[in-house]
A and B are shown apart, each in its own frame.
Chain A
Amino acid sequence: MIPTAFRYRRAGSVAEALALLREGGPGAKLLAGGHSLIPMMKQRLAEPELLIDIGGLLELCGVHAVGDAIEVGATTTHADLAASALLRERAPILAEAAAEIGDAQVRNRGTIGGSLAHADPGADLPAVLIALDAAISITGADGSRTVPAADFFRDILTVDLEDGEILTDVSFRPVRSAAYAKLPQRASRFALAGVAVALEMEDGVCRAARVAVTGAASHAQRLPAVESALVGARLPEGAAAACEGAGDALDFVNADLHGSEEYRRAMVAVMARRAVESAAARG
């Protein structure tokens, strides 16, 4: 499995990367950890003409507290997310979900930006960032913009990112009472069904909830029916009732040898319940 030939440029700054992207046109792709792109290239499912390496851009790397928000640079690796004391303290859901991605080697190399931009239907982080109501920052030739995570994922491997744009970072207000639960596909460890839940709790009662699913459908998305069912529920006691049928609201559900549509829908409910219970246990 050998990639086709391409040209390679290492960008010294985001500005330079943007210029290279413009120059390269539609045949240009960004490369950071490469753990989404390189496997595709080896199978010749992706044949870019130009790779622009942004892996070394320190300005895109790291987990930082900015005011009352947390900002995560696009080239931050899953391992760095998992090890981040800041995340463990203030948004453990992201550190925990990152720790469950793939395996140690993949986490050492794969980046949050790559995972989000590639938008594999079974990727874990998209659901987590939707649950955290993260804003995704994008820079292009015409300036910068932010997109709510819930609007960023459009379809299978399809996101709100144009040719010539760079996903630079994500930021969110940390939530402690949030959790992610996934049923891994047993070979790839991608999520067959994964649900991320962020709760606002008061005296054991849910005041607000954001719930997002990945793995089951073409792309990560919110589960509004579960969110409304959770509001006002006493948790964790009411978790099962609120999450019952959680998967049934999805328009489209993947099916393959690892799980039929019926199974995945049922697993969405199971993972939702487990995530709610874990999130609620955090108060």
Chain B
Amino acid sequence: MTSANAPLLPKLIGERVKRREDPRLIRGLATYVDDLKLPGMLHLAFRRADIAHGVIRRIDVSAAAAMEGVELALTGAELAEHLGPMPIGTPFPAPDHYSVAVDRVRYVGEPVAVVAAADRYLARDAADAIEVEYDELPAVVDPEAAMADGSATLHEGFARNVAVGGYQGGTGVNAETAQAEDDSAMDAAFAEADVVISQCMLNQRLAPNAMEPRGVVARYEAGSDYLTIWSATQNPHILRTLAAGMLGLGEHQVRAIAPEVGGGFGCKINIYGEEYAAAALSRLTGAPVKWIEDRTEAFLATTHGRDILGDVEIAAKRDGTILALRAQLLADIGAYEVLLTALIPTLTGMMMNGVYRIPVVRHELTEVFTNKTPTDAYRGAGRPEGLYFVERAVDMLARELDMDPAELRRRNFIPAAEFPFPTQSGLVYDSGDYEAALDTALAAADWESLKAERDAARAEGRIVGVGMAFYVEVCGLGPSSVVPTGGWEHSGVTIERGGKVTATTGASPHGQGNETTFAQMLADHFSVPIGDIAILHGDTGVVKQGIGTFGSRSQAVGGAALMLAAGRAGDKMKRFAAALMADHEASPDDLVFESGRIQVAGAPEVSRSFAEVADFAYVPVPLPAGLEPGLSEEAFFEPENNTYPFGCHISMVEIDRDTGEPRLLRLIAVDDCGNVINPLIVEGQVHGGLAQGIGQAMFEEVVYDEDGQPLTASFMDYVMPRAADLPAFELERTVTPTPVNPLGAKGVGEAGTIGSSPCVVNAAVDALAPFGVRHVDMPLRPERLWRLIHDRDQNGGQP
């Protein structure tokens, strides 16, 4: 009883542990929203606007309502009697936005009516039978033209379509008013400059395209006034709060469940009109209802990402010292503000310091409504846009100065000794060693050889370029001062009778692997087998509180909350153990968890098994003084600051001279996300991020025509990166822990996305430099590159 001969359990943190999520997923046994079937369930289909802008002159759902199997058909005006305008999560003024349009449509794909029918085939038939006539209004498509005299406007009270106007940040700006008060430093820097780089760049509109489209099942139980809503969401707790508000319920009357969720990438943060409509229709019909988005709808009605025009200027000395950077940012946010729409571009502005000790930095941001799908977060959410602008501009400066881009960056880095580093935009970078990451990347790529290889290829007549980009990003969102939904995370840890451990987390993973990483952390903390640990998430009926998964926060905030709760549970358990070992006068402070036992540090012969102590905690006879029975603790963790992961990416691109087709030959990524729990999962996160960043650089763009009709509403026209389009990525890491959470982990979900886009474009511009090219906008369309190579009119034919 006192001596443990059990083998020592190996530590799991830092190990490549296979994911515990996978067995159900690889066997096809996981339950996504569309896999749910409830008795008597109805299916919803939405009729959507096929014009970009217009007043609904007539809408008639009677033919649909009369069809076989149709339970209910409602216009937006009818639904508005049950659902008010949707809430948003930012402090910016916003126009009313209804789940289903009431009298006017503002983008192709906006719902105008909804039907509930016995199955999804009948629901589709009925939605198609709805008659709608519009008085068309001019479509507002170009964000600059949107602000011009005489442009049509989308919303009353938003003159010139401006949602957020002239919002400034950085040097000489009053942070309260977001207006510049002192131009002297900026003026002096530009006056002193030997070189000024100026470039207007588009960070184009993208479709997030999680492979699982959105979906919702809602069941309203009239007897108990209780709504259960299953949704493909990144944040069930926010859904609970907002759905309760929309339906006039308390949070205690709503249970929101995110079952298995097939990717989010930011587009499943927003709580959508279809979710509220499903809840309302379940209440109205008395039946559970399901709505599953199809991909075409996803292109039209799921939030888009990016779409910011940046006009960037850099002032520098001939020796490469950057004196100042200023940027005019114009965000095309589409037709409405949804949950975080207006906030995202402000993050772009905040990033304009990049990784550099630029003494004078300022941005001015304007956000404009257009007749397009609303924008919101997409992997990186504002930071990729900012870093793209900075890293393209810095690369242009290197070319202008004929300086190696690595050397120019090194010269301007924030030195490792200067962290924590306050930026001009008011952020405080927590920790960093940018030179170490650069050196690691240069060595991994063999930078000098890579350049020689490029030169040799050029000598053969090939069009080849190399490029690099450095990034820093804001991760681990909170604290609450910067996250309108609350910046904390919650966790509960229960040690059950028998010694199994169940933890809940408000982080709601949908591919990130937290069932594994969190279990690794608890296994090490309690020194018990990982198989004895369960991580529960995604259900507000089980997880009492939470914020959700976005902004690379699961580990840095959710993981920290988990360990706080685990610490509390463990401390209490040690007090129970000490009581059991009172004969040995063991103090709780002297006890440690070791391989399934709780023992006196340095005296393993004095111990009790984990299970025995757990059992005792639930039947504590006698109850130790000052202890309540049971082992179930919880914690909220509020970070004191964000975390700031960083990294350096290097790539090599070849362009086909005849066709302009680009090919990514190599991509070397060095990422520093602080301490790592599971390198296998971190690599996966980086790979996925790289593919999305490369997708933006090379392939992807949402395009509208001049009437606001989307030209890229399916995978037939929206170019998704496929396996054969990508090389094998070459990954390295440096490790600079963060001081802002006890784990030292910074977050890694978005990293790869941020560095890779500018890196690939920098390589493409390098390839095209012999043709006099200084800049090319994303994506690297073959025709666009062909025109540059063959000196054709740049405005010919293409968007």
Contact = CB atoms under 8 A, between A and B. Distances in A.
- To the question of whether A and B form a pair in one complex, the answer is yes
Interface of A: 1-2, 4-5, 44, 183, 186-188, 255-263, 266-267, 270
B294 A262 contact: no
Contacts of A259: 782-783, 797-798
Interface stretch (B4-12, B160-168, B460-468, B715-723): B715-723
B527 interface: no
9 contacts: A183-B661, A186-B782, A187-B719, A188-B717, A256-B711, A258-B781, A258-B783, A263-B796, A270-B658
B151 interface: no
Interface size, B (range)? 20 to 34
B120 interface: yes
Contact of A1 (B125, B296, B711): B296
A279 B416 CA distance: 60
A260 B716 contact: no
B593 interface: no
A266 B786 contact: yes
Contact of B711 (A257, A260, A261): A257
Contacts of B799: 257
Query: 9 closest pairs, A vs B, by CB?
Result: A260-B797, A2-B124, A187-B719, A263-B783, A270-B658, A188-B716, A186-B719, A2-B121, A1-B294
Contact of A260 (B121, B128, B661, B796): B796
A255 B125 CA distance: 33
B659 A260 contact: no
Contacts of B782: 183, 186, 259
B296 to A, nearest CB: 6
Contacts, number: 59
A263 B717 contact: no
A200 B295 CA distance: 48
Nearest to B712: A257
A12 B248 CA distance: 61
A263 B786 contact: yes
Contacts of A257: 703, 711-712, 717, 798-799
A262 B717 contact: no
Interface string B675-717: 0000000000000000000000001000100000001100111
Contacts of B786: 263, 266
Nearest to B715: A187
B383 to A, nearest CB: 27
B792 interface: yes
B788 to A, nearest CB: 12
Residues of B contacting A: mostly: loop
A260 B783 contact: yes
A186 B661 CA distance: 10
Contacts of B121: 2
Contacts of B294: 1
Contacts of B699: 186
A38 to B, nearest CB: 14
Nearest to B296: A1
A270 B659 contact: yes
Interface in B92-138: 120-121, 124-125, 128
A266 B783 CA distance: 10
A257 B279 CA distance: 39
A187 B721 CA distance: 9
B296 A261 contact: no
Nearest to A184: B661
A183 B659 contact: yes
A255 B711 CA distance: 12
A260 B717 contact: no
A242 to B, nearest CB: 16
B125 A4 contact: yes
B310 to A, nearest CB: 23
Given A259-B797, A262-B797, 16 more contacts: A2-B120, A2-B121, A187-B716, A187-B720, A188-B715, A257-B717, A257-B799, A258-B717, A259-B798, A260-B783, A260-B797, A260-B798, A263-B786, A263-B787, A266-B790, A267-B659
Nearest to B121: A2
Contacts of A5: 125
A256 B781 CA distance: 12
B90 to A, nearest CB: 32
Contact of B797 (A1, A4, A263): A263
Contact of A187 (B125, B296, B717, B783): B717
B120 A187 contact: no
Contacts of A270: 658-659
Contacts of B124: 2
A183 B658 CA distance: 11
Given A187-B716, A257-B798, A44 B658 contact: no
